[in-house]
């Protein structure tokens, strides 16, 4: 059965008409923009902590949790224990949490440290604004934080309007719902101050049955909007599945707000498919994040008093323009590794046909043997290249539409198919026009010929640019950079990271590679790094002319123009 989908704009139009008949379920993703790590983030922290303590290594050796090589190293250690859940398993987070901190008091202290200092995001404030207007009445959450309560205190200008019920008071929740003392927040996993913090496998299985029954009963009166929740906890998913057994459940619909291009977990897919079979209006709604989803909802509600919300949005601007550093006393606190992208592509070719997912799309390009860059989204196959080449790749899949696709700014704010396509296009442009080559991964680049004269300046900064290490298999290394695209302050940035890149990496020589890279870069202090960023910025930008990915004239090409001025921070003026 096909997973039911609801277009984001369709959901936004429906919401004002049925808001009072919908309850909400918030997961960890709803608190991510407030600075609280998600369960996925904490999973890697637990793996890192177990690795450092059990292998007795320096924390700096595995400090970068965004590095795929380090993640592989941590996961290999976890796998070697023989008793940990597989990555992505429903009980992975809880089991690792208990392994890292066996004591309940320690787990409570850990959670309190993560929550301390967090402030409500725009999404929490918008939800509280809707609560004040009785457009959101009942919120369930798996989170431990008090962000929604803090937001209500700001919007209502008092702490007494929200009834917030933790795990240890299910009877209070039942009475509040029965008496309709709206708004109500029910914490399914308790509160971090609660004596009975629920956060280990055994504790999760023993989650209070009364609260789950209340959720089932409430599902007969209300529809449900789920946001920021991955479906990780069997107890909650079992409860939603049980609710569907009752005829007429979720009368207002079941809407699962989902971020990114990846498919939801199998458990979520099964729930939505089951709901569709039970004739419940339901579907997956693609959103950018919790904050943007609430912004879209608020925007379409007439006569909504948003003065407090607007004032909050103005206060929470995260960055401001910094003056360009000049003089001996004008230097900023930090020089960042971000180059402004002054020009990025705004359109690409779109092909609608019967080809499958991204892997099948890439295979089709390789079979055709042409230079075409591709991405895969729900809109179709997105591509750069000569039109004749693009048609050659997909003509066997029954092309029904062949047109231009506008790259929307909102699709570049997160790791979407469009942003991935632009990253591949930028890397291709750099390799084509800056004498570089890809090493191992698509965004790792190194000099194509380290003996060329243009690399002498780099050699003076870092020494030898390539070499071989004795290992099994033999390791080849090169001095290079990693390239990444990111969105901040309403514009695209190119993030560059000087790195030692390796070829022929295997489990048997990973430690050798890590030790060599660490020894090579450990003495690159501020002055050396500053000079290194200057070199790479000037190399990538060149004379300031366009960077063209393919140089084609009879199709759609990706064209970039970068600024050599890296981003700076400065002390805030208080």
Condensed to tens digits (0 to 9), the pLDDT of residues 341-381 reads 999 999 999 999 999 988 899 999 999 999 999 999 988 99
Cβ–Cβ under 8 Å, residues 344 and 422: yes
Query: What values do phi and psi take at 187, rounded to 5?
Result: -95, 105
Q: What is the mean pLDDT of residues 230-255?
A: 91
Nearest to residue 112, comparing CAs of 122, 124, 104, 120?
104
Specify the DSSP element, H or E, that contains 130.
Answer: helix 122-132
Q: What is the mean pLDDT of residues 171-195?
A: 81
Higher pLDDT, 210 or 147: 147
Cβ–Cβ under 8 Å, residues 298 and 306: yes
Question: What pLDDT shows up at residue 196?
Answer: 44
Question: What pLDDT shows up at residue 193?
Answer: 44
What's CA 508's distance to the chain center, in Å?
31
Round to the nearest angstrom and report the end-to-end CA distance of the chain.
58
Question: What pLDDT shows up at residue 263?
Answer: 81
Query: What values do phi and psi take at 497, rounded to 5?
Result: -125, 110
Structural domains of the chain in order of their starting residue, each with its CATH number: 8-35+120-312 (3.40.50.1220), 43-115 (no CATH), 338-346+407-562 (no CATH)
Give how far Cα 562 sits from Cα of 209, 325, 428, 492, 559, Å: 57, 20, 15, 10, 10
CA angle 342, 478, 531 (to 5 degrees): 50
Cβ neighbours for 271, distance < 8 A, ≥ 6 positions apart = 231, 237, 240, 241, 244, 256
What's CA 174's distance to the chain center, in Å?
36
Query: Considering only 25-39, 210-224, 529-543, which range has the smallest mean pLDDT?
Result: 25-39
Q: Is the pLDDT confidence value at 330 over 50?
A: yes
553's tokens: 């004239």
Q: Is the pLDDT confidence value at 202 over 70?
A: no
Q: Is the pLDDT confidence value at 322 over 70?
A: no
Higher pLDDT, 294 or 472: 294
User: Does the reported pTM lie above 0.95?
Assistant: no
Q: Is the pLDDT confidence value at 11 over 50?
A: yes
Cβ neighbours for 130, distance < 8 A, ≥ 6 positions apart = 19, 136, 297, 298, 301, 304
Q: Give, to the nearest 10 degrees, the angle between helix 234-243 and helix 266-277.
A: 10
Q: Is the pLDDT confidence value at 570 over 70?
A: no
Cα(257)–Cα(260) distance, integer angstroms:
10
Q: Is the pLDDT confidence value at 29 over 90?
A: no
Nearest to residue 526, comparing CAs of 319, 381, 334, 289?
334
Q: Respond yes or no on whether the N-terminal peptide bond of residue 473 is cis (omega within 30° of 0).
A: yes
pLDDT in tens, 152-170: 999 998 878 899 988 777 8
Question: What pLDDT shows up at residue 162?
Answer: 92
Per-residue pLDDT band for 204 (boundaries 50, 70, 90) equals very low
User: Per DSSP, what are the bridge partners of residue 374?
Assistant: 383
Higher pLDDT, 170 or 205: 170
Nearest to residue 504, comparing CAs of 532, 470, 536?
470
Q: What is the mean pLDDT of residues 428-435?
A: 95
Tell me, letter by letter, the H, E, C secondary structure of 244-277: CCCCCCCCCCEEEEEECCCCCCHHHHHHHHHHHH
Nearest to residue 110, comparing CAs of 124, 98, 119, 95?
98
Higher pLDDT, 22 or 105: 22
Specify the DSSP element, H or E, that contains 548.
Answer: strand 547-548
Other CB atoms closer than 10 Å to residue 517's CB: what's the count?
Answer: 16
Question: What pLDDT shows up at residue 155?
Answer: 93
Cα(28)–Cα(34) distance, integer angstroms:
10
Per-residue pLDDT band for 195 (boundaries 50, 70, 90) equals very low
Cα(438)–Cα(349) distance, integer angstroms:
25
DSSP 349-399: EEEESS--SHHHHHHHHHHHT---EEEEETTEEEEEEEHHHHHHHHGGG--
Cβ–Cβ under 8 Å, residues 487 and 493: yes
Q: Is the pLDDT confidence value at 225 over 50?
A: yes
pLDDT in tens, 297-316: 998 898 898 888 888 876 65
């Amino acid at each position: 059965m096909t997973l039911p989908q609801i277009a984001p704009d369709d959901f936004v139009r429906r919401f004002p008409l049925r808001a009072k008949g919908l309850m909400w379920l918030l997961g960890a993703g709803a608190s991510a923009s407030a600075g609280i790590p998600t369960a996925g983030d904490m999973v890697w922290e637990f793996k890192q902590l177990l690795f450092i303590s059990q292998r007795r290594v320096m924390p700096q050796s595995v400090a970068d949790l965004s590095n795929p090589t380090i993640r592989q190293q941590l996961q290999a250690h976890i796998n070697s224990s023989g008793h940990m859940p597989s990555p992505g398993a429903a009980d992975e987070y809880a089991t690792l949490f208990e392994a890292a901190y066996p004591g309940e008091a320690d787990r409570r202290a850990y959670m309190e440290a993560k929550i301390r200092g967090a402030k409500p995001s725009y999404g929490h404030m918008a939800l509280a604004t809707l609560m004040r207007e009785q457009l959101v009445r009942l919120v369930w959450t798996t989170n431990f934080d008090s962000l929604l309560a803090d937001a209500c205190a700001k919007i209502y200008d008092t702490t007494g309007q929200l009834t917030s019920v933790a795990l240890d008071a299910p009877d209070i929740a039942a009475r509040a719902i029965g008496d309709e003392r709206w708004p109500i927040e029910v914490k399914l996993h308790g509160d971090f101050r609660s004596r009975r913090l629920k956060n280990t496998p055994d504790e999760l299985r023993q989650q209070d049955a009364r609260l789950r029954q209340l959720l089932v009963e409430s599902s007969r009166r209300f529809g449900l909007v789920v946001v920021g929740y991955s479906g990780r906890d069997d107890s909650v998913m079992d409860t939603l599945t049980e609710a569907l057994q009752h005829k007429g459940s979720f009368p207002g619909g079941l809407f699962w707000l989902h971020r990114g291009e990846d498919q939801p977990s199998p458990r979520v897919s099964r729930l939505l498919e089951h709901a569709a079979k039970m004739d419940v209006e339901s579907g997956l709604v693609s959103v950018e994040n919790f904050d943007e989803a609430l912004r879209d909802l608020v925007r379409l509600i007439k006569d909504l008093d948003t003065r407090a919300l607007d004032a909050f949005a103005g206060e929470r601007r995260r960055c401001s323009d910094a003056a360009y550093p000049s003089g001996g006393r004008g230097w900023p606190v930090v020089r960042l590794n971000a180059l402004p992208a002054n020009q990025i592509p705004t359109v690409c070719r779109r092909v609608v046909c019967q080809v499958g997912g991204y892997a099948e799309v890439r295979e089709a390009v390789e079979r055709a043997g042409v230079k075409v860059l591709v991405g895969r989204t729900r809109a179709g196959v997105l591509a750069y290249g000569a039109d004749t080449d693009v048609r050659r790749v997909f003509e066997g899949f029954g092309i029904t539409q062949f047109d231009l696709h506008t790259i929307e700014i909102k699709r570049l704010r997160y790791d979407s198919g469009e942003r991935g396509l632009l990253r591949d296009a930028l890397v291709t442009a750099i390799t084509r026009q800056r004498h570089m080559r890809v090493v191992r991964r698509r965004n790792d680049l190194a000099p194509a010929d380290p003996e060329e004269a243009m690399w002498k300046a780099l050699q003076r900064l870092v020494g030898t640019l390539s070499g071989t290490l004795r290992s099994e298999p033999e390791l080849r290394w090169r001095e290079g950079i990693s390239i990444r695209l990111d969105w901040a302050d309403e514009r695209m940035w190119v993030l560059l990271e000087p790195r030692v890149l390796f070829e022929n990496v295997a489990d048997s020589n990973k430690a050798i590679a890590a030790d060599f890279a660490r020894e090579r870069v450990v003495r690159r202090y501020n002055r050396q790094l500053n000079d290194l960023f200057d070199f790479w910025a000037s190399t990538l930008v060149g004379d300031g002319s366009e960077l063209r990915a393919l140089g084609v004239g009879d199709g759609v090409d990706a064209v970039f123009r970068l600024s050599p001025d890296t981003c700076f921070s400065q002390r805030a003026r208080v």
